[in-house]
Structure 1
Amino acid sequence: MHVVLIAAARFPLAEPFAGGLESLTWHLCRGLRARGVAVTVFAGHGSDPALGARELTTRPLALSSAARQDVSMAPEAWLAEHHAYLQLMLELQARDDVDVIHNNSLHHLPVAMAGAATAPMVTTLHTPPTPWLEPAVSIADDPRSRYVAVSQHTRRAWSHVADAEVVLNGVDVERWSEGPGGDALAWVGRLVPEKAPHLAIDIARAAGRRVRLAGPVGDREYVETMVLPRLGPDAEYVGHLDTSGLRSLVGHSAATLVTPVWDEPYGLVAAESLACGTPVVAFDRGGLPEVLTEQVGRVVAADDVAAAGAAVDEAVRLSRASCRRHAVRTCSVERMVEEYLRVYGSMSTLRGAA
């Protein structure tokens, strides 16, 4: 079997990952190859050299002076991304050596042009509906296209335009190995308003525990206004860590706080925490309740700092071994890869022009 994986053009497939989309595509490529599947990857600049990815780029984007004088011209970066996907889909239209195209991008063109390719396409829905992708899914009536959502929550969000099945994201449970635990709490993610790390600090103080925060600063104004003033002896920002550093941080923590103020499509941080044996306290947002059970964490009402603070005492008493077993059974890359192979197999009869 030969699978083409299409990633997003804006971020590389490299650690530390920009998000769940990049993590899924990187792990899926490696997992498929480990099972003897031939994989070609198209991805953004700076991707992991070990993947051998072909860069999503133009050849180059050549605009005449006349075209540049058009006052309605879209930003050049947008045009470059658009034409990179156009070039890719035109190439796939002419290839007969591909069995399945797996689209993990958030761009509308792969979906819109799927019917022109010889190989059938499955698109993973990683996000809530977007104004670019939603109409493409609605309009592109290709009987050879399939859709997969990363959670039941995400499936429901797209159900008005797509009949998707669910394959939960996976984490590498070998790399995210069980840790000894500790006294402090952990928070991991991009420091942006929708992830609300400032609420994690408030929750930790309500619970009477220290908290350590790790992740890239995605919104400096928000961090300077809402996060930095809250730091102190009981709340520390430890920086943007690699996977090894994050594993050590989470594995040496009593519990992980997951505090989104938007609906997370899945809940990758929660899955990684459980793989380390560390229980989770999370807001009831998006797909997070699908990752957690009463045996491995606590889910409280969205944005309820007091309830989350009270739940910490319950969570830290949960069995770390149970958290680890739950992650291995339901959150592993191996489980994810096997489920995608099943999806690919169900599409084997769809090859050929529509």
Structure 2
Amino acid sequence: MKVALIAPPFITVPPKDYGGTELFVAQLAEGLQKAGVPVVVYTIGESTVNVDRRWLYEKPEWPIKAVQHAFIKDMDHSAWAIRDAAETCDVIHLQSPQGIPCSRFTNVPIVFTLHGPHDPKLSEFYSHYPELYYVGISEFQRRQESLPRIRTIHHGIDLSLYQLREHKQQYLSFIGRIAPIKGTHVAIDVAKRVGIALKIAGDIQPIYRDYFKAKIKPELDGKFIEYVGLADLKAKNELLGNSLAMLFPIKWNEPFGLVMVEAMACGTPVLAFPGGSVAEVVRDGVSGYVCRSVVDMAKHVTTIDLKPRAVRQYVEENFSLARMVGQYAALYQEVLKPGDARKIA
């Protein structure tokens, strides 16, 4: 059985900093390859994922400046990739909806992972393709769809890439898009209430530059409230691993929130607002706390006493790469008709 993983053509696989979907594709691809499942990743030319790679576009394009142009580029990339993959692969796994209409032109079974928030218009679009095999990345996300072939597979991460740090420093961390729905300004509020420094890392997309200038930049002093820019894997290990807790004060329904798992893999508890997948990812009193309000989050900052090793163990038991790879491999085998391809050894 050979699997094609088709990533969007905007960010390298794996990403250099921002890119949850691209990190997912990279780790799934390499995990499948190690498990004996041949993989080809359709991406951009500068990607470095250590499997067979193919591309139409060489350079990354992020942040996206013109949505309509990006839509056309993604359609072009997806159509080319599906046509190419259909000649040599037994299963095609899509990450963006632009490729779905091409399923009408191939008999190769297609898996589609839903990475974004629920959108009624997209749900209507998906309903025209009931023959696809859909994957929700959280139970919350899956329950919002009414598709006949949908299941939940939580993300997993390669724990060897994340260092357990048992001795923490006196600061809090925030990693994510600098956007109102991610609650960057709330994280600053919490830090000021408890008098503990905050280090912020994340992408400032053009659409949210006014928010950054109005709500975030005036609070930055380079010492107590610090913006450190984008964070690659090494920087994430440092920033998350050394912090007392990672704040995740979201104001939307998070589809999954991979950075929560990354923080916990470093032995750092997560303090989060409820919304979407949060209660599935953070186990109250074990790997962090789901907080009701700013006051509640501030209270937990001052009283948190979770052992870093136990926090990491929670990730090992629930969000390992091996578990995710095994569940996707089982799905790929399931979608194949008897005799279509060799069984996984």
Per the normalisation by structure 1, the TM-score is 0.85
* Displacement after TM superposition at 1:350 (Å): 6.7
Indicate the SS of the match to 2:289.
Answer: strand
Q: Distance in 1 between matches of 2:325 and 2:301?
A: 33
Q: CA RMSD in A?
A: 2.3
Indicate the SS of the match to 1:178.
Answer: coil
Q: Distance in 1 between matches of 2:309 and 2:90?
A: 41
Indicate the SS of the match to 2:134.
Answer: strand
Question: Which residue, out of 301, 308, 311, partners 2:300?
Answer: 311
| 1:194 and 2:181 matched | yes
Question: Which residue, out of 82, 93, 98, partners 2:89?
Answer: 98
Q: Distance in 2 between matches of 1:130 and 1:92?
A: 28
Q: Distance in 2 between matches of 1:132 and 1:53?
A: 32
* Displacement after TM superposition at 1:169 (Å): 0.7
* Displacement after TM superposition at 1:211 (Å): 1.2
- 1:2-41 correspondence runs (5 A): 2-41=2-41
Q: Distance in 1 between matches of 2:240 and 2:196?
A: 15
Which residue of the partner structure matches residue 137 of structure 2?
Answer: 150
Which residue of the partner structure matches residue 108 of structure 2?
Answer: 119
For 2:281, the aligned partner's letter is V
* Displacement after TM superposition at 1:161 (Å): 3.8
Question: Which residue, out of 303, 306, 325, partners 1:337?
Answer: 325
* Displacement after TM superposition at 1:32 (Å): 0.9
> CA 1:26 to 1:211, structure 2 compared with 1: closer, same or farther past 3 Å?
same
Which residue of the partner structure matches residue 280 of structure 2?
Answer: 290
| 1:173 and 2:177 matched | no
* Displacement after TM superposition at 1:217 (Å): 2.2
- Between stretches 272-281 and 204-213, larger displacement belongs to 204-213
* Displacement after TM superposition at 1:186 (Å): 0.9
Which residue of the partner structure matches residue 314 of structure 2?
Answer: 326
| Percentage of matched positions with identical amino acids | 29
Q: Distance in 1 between matches of 2:339 and 2:216?
A: 52
Indicate the SS of the match to 1:147.
Answer: strand
Which residue of the partner structure matches residue 343 of structure 2?
Answer: none
Q: Distance in 1 between matches of 2:117 and 2:69?
A: 26
Q: Is the 8 A contact 1:258 1:269 kept in 2?
A: no
Per the normalisation by structure 2, the TM-score is 0.87
> CA 1:154 to 1:17, structure 2 compared with 1: closer, same or farther past 3 Å?
farther
Q: Is the 8 A contact 2:14 2:25 kept in 1?
A: no
Which residue of the partner structure matches residue 228 of structure 1?
Answer: 217
Q: Is the 8 A contact 2:130 2:147 kept in 1?
A: no
Q: Is the 8 A contact 2:260 2:281 kept in 1?
A: yes
> CA 1:203 to 1:140, structure 2 compared with 1: closer, same or farther past 3 Å?
same
Of structures 1 and 2, the larger Rg is shown by 1
For 1:118, the aligned partner's letter is N
Structure 1, unmatched stretches of 5+, are 59-73
Deviations 1:42-65 (A, max 9, x none): 12453226444212459xxxxxxx
| 1:209 and 2:196 matched | yes
Q: Distance in 1 between matches of 2:203 and 2:319?
A: 24
Q: Is the 8 A contact 1:201 1:211 kept in 2?
A: yes
Which residue of the partner structure matches residue 79 of structure 1?
Answer: 72
